[in-house]
Amino acid sequence: MTIVLTIAGLTLREAVRRKVLRSLAVLTVLLLSLSAWGFSRIDAEFGGLTSGESKLIAAMVLNLVMFGLSLIAALGTAFLAGPTVSGEAESGIALAVLARPVRRTAVLLGKWLGLVVFGTGFVAVAGTAQLLIVKLTTGYWPPDPVAGLALLAGQAVALLTLGLLLSTVISPMASGIVAVGLFGATWIAGVVGGLGGALGNASVERIGTVSQVLLPTDGLWRGAMRSFQDPSLLSQFSEAFEGHPFLSAAPLTGTYLIWAVAWTALVLALAGLAFQRRDL
């Protein structure tokens, strides 16, 4: 356990030193600044709104901005996970470390834990800052912000775990590109499935359901959206916004949350198995 925590600390320190962190910080500050300006202009641009309509728009725009933050987190964690295994194997660093009596599974678990701390920390800090911006500019506060941020953090953990698995078999850059590509494809499939549900097309709706099982990032994201919006407001305008990509009518089930945890554990186990068999 000491080795795992030590490697986790080293991985976290290395993640902080990388240029990826500076890029994430710049993108996050830009997004938060633009969102602060945008939220402050809601009343001016949409004059004559009722309080319910104003809150609904605030919730919708909040979900849009939170998707931007989740995309930044996805890019950061995916491209940090890539060099963690594949990059160190190619440079010879992994061979130097594993020449000592250190188990490969302990190294991989430590790296995963360090990346989890980095990803969840980013989501917590950036997400809380965004919620405070919305509160100060519009007065809106989501009904369950802690659960929403936790689900966004879970989304980042699922994606970085996938990136870690990919980094054991392909190059660092390719693993990041594939992970982010799958993230985007799953989100698009979820939007298509939502439109299918709104139109009553079961076959199209099934596309989103299957994609959320194969990669739970979009399912967790939709659960986060639900936590950031007021259900009573959505029920008032459900017909007008049915199938909207940034509003979610159905909450996550406990079964799906269990599946998301099991999926992450399974992918991490596969990454450990692939790393054990990899030639260094």
User: What span, in angstroms and rounded, lies between the C-alpha atoms of 153 and 70?
Assistant: 9
User: What span, in angstroms and rounded, lies between the C-alpha atoms of 253 and 248?
Assistant: 13
Q: Would you state the pLDDT for residue 72?
A: 87
Q: Per-residue pLDDT for the chain (280 aa), expressed as one digit of tens each?
A: 677 777 777 777 777 777 777 778 888 899 899 888 888 877 666 666 666 667 777 888 888 888 888 888 888 887 777 666 655 555 445 444 555 566 777 778 888 888 888 889 989 999 999 999 998 888 888 888 999 999 999 999 999 899 888 888 887 778 888 888 899 899 898 888 888 877 778 888 888 889 999 999 989 998 988 888 877 766 665 555 566 677 777 778 889 999 999 999 999 999 888 877 765 5
User: For residue 93, how far is the Cα from the chain centroid?
Assistant: 29
Phi/psi at 113 (5° precision)? -65, -40
Q: Would you state the pLDDT for residue 123?
A: 92
User: What span, in angstroms and rounded, lies between the C-alpha atoms of 123 and 88?
Assistant: 26
Residue carrying structure tokens 């594939």: 178
In a 10 Å sphere around its CB, with 0-12 CB exposed, 13-18 middle and 19+ buried, how is residue 168 labelled? Answer: buried
**Residue 83 DSSP label:** I
Instruction: Provide the b/e sequence for 77-87 (b: ≥16 CB within 10 Å).
Output: bbbbbbbbbbb
User: What span, in angstroms and rounded, lies between the C-alpha atoms of 59 and 64?
Assistant: 9
User: What span, in angstroms and rounded, lies between the C-alpha atoms of 85 and 38?
Assistant: 40
Contact 20, 79 (CB under 8 A): yes
Amino acid in the structure at residue 254 = G
The C-alpha torsion from 51 through 52 and 58 to 60, rounded to 10°, is -160
User: What span, in angstroms and rounded, lies between the C-alpha atoms of 186 and 67?
Assistant: 13
Candidates 254, 101, 267; CA nearest to 169 is 267
Angle at 19 between CA 15 and CA 24, to 5 degrees: 85
**Residue 262 DSSP label:** H
Q: Would you state the pLDDT for residue 92?
A: 46
The C-alpha torsion from 55 through 59 and 62 to 64, rounded to 10°, is -130
User: What span, in angstroms and rounded, lies between the C-alpha atoms of 265 and 145?
Assistant: 25
